[in-house]
Amino acid sequence: MKKERMKKERVKKERPPKESAKDRPAKSKFKKALKRVLVTLGCIAGFLAFLTILFDVIVLASGGSGIRESAEKVTLEKPDCIMVLGCSVKPDGTPSDMLRDRIETGVALYKAGVAPKILMSGDHGSENYNEVGCMKAYAEQLGVPSEDIFMDHAGFCTYDSVVRAKEVFGVKKMVIVTQKYHLFRAVFIAKAFGVEAEGVPADLHRYHNQLNREIREIFGRCKDLLNTIFRPDPKYLGEPIDITGDGSVTNDPVTPVVSDPDYTHEED
């Protein structure tokens, strides 16, 4: 009996103290507050997801209505130019696979008589990186005369390229060339700024990591839809350049690296 009594006393000592009535309201308030925070965060996340989907659908619908699959299907009458959007250049100064396909598509449209000028728009933000010089050099290799190729050295993003085409080069009508996933946004921006635009996709091959680009592009479309509402200035504007004139006035004083004509396409 004595042992049992001692055992019961030991169990009582080890048992944690009961929660006091004062502690219960505090814990209850904390749980309610935490629940409110989680519900609020969930609502915000849901709202942002809804906006992302809505913005994406708007850009896809508006931009997609201007996409034409070939030169024969372009319906714009007498466009001022074919704008080829830049992308990465290889370390040796030659175009990446995606850029090569864009240039070749743009040149094919030029040779088909779609427009009298080509506007190469890309990043030339440093002496060591020159998308537009590379683009023009390759187009000249394909037989386009220098005077018919303009370079926009400050096309640092899709929005800047399209707005500068209008504000700097005076473009009112143009055919835009890039890969199809990117074309919806470019055509949408042009329409938003009152430029008559159609787009021809340059998907001549399959590209490595394309799924990642497609996902990033969803957010790019949302960003540029907001840009068309708030209309920030491009990073640079500058003096007007007449797109109907001689494209050589935009030439870079440094001779760019010319692409190897015997280059065989490989997937990125």
Divide the 268 residues of the chain into consecutive groups of 10 and give the mean pLDDT of each group.
54 54 65 86 94 96 96 96 96 94 98 98 90 96 98 96 98 98 98 98 94 96 97 94 97 54 37
Q: Taking the CB of residue 87, how many other CB atoms lie within 10 A of it?
A: 21
- Amino acid 265: pLDDT: 34
Burial of 206 (0-12, 13-18, 19+ CB in 10 A): exposed
Any domain includes 52: no
- Amino acid 35: pLDDT: 85
Residues in the chain: 268
- Residue 106's domain is classified under what CATH number? 3.40.50.620
- Residue 246: phi and psi, rounded to 5, are -100, 120
- Amino acid 264: pLDDT: 37
Task: Choose among 45, 58, 134: nearest CA to 91.
Answer: 134
CA distances from 236 to 127, 163, 256 (A): 17, 10, 22
- Beta strand 149-152 with 118-121 is parallel
- Residue 221: phi and psi, rounded to 5, are -65, -40
Any domain includes 130: yes
DSSP 112: T
- Amino acid 18: pLDDT: 56
Q: Which residue has the tokens 């990073």?
A: 235
- Amino acid 164: pLDDT: 97
Domain of 82 in residue numbering reads as 60-250
Q: How many domains does the chain have?
A: 1
pTM: predicted TM-score of the whole model, two decimal places: 0.83
- Amino acid 8: pLDDT: 52
Any domain includes 127: yes
Any domain includes 164: yes
Distance CA 14, CA 4 (A): 15
- Amino acid 28: pLDDT: 77
Any domain includes 35: no
CB 96 within 8 A of CB 268: yes
Helix 210-230 and helix 158-167, axial crossing angle in degrees, nearest 10 = 50
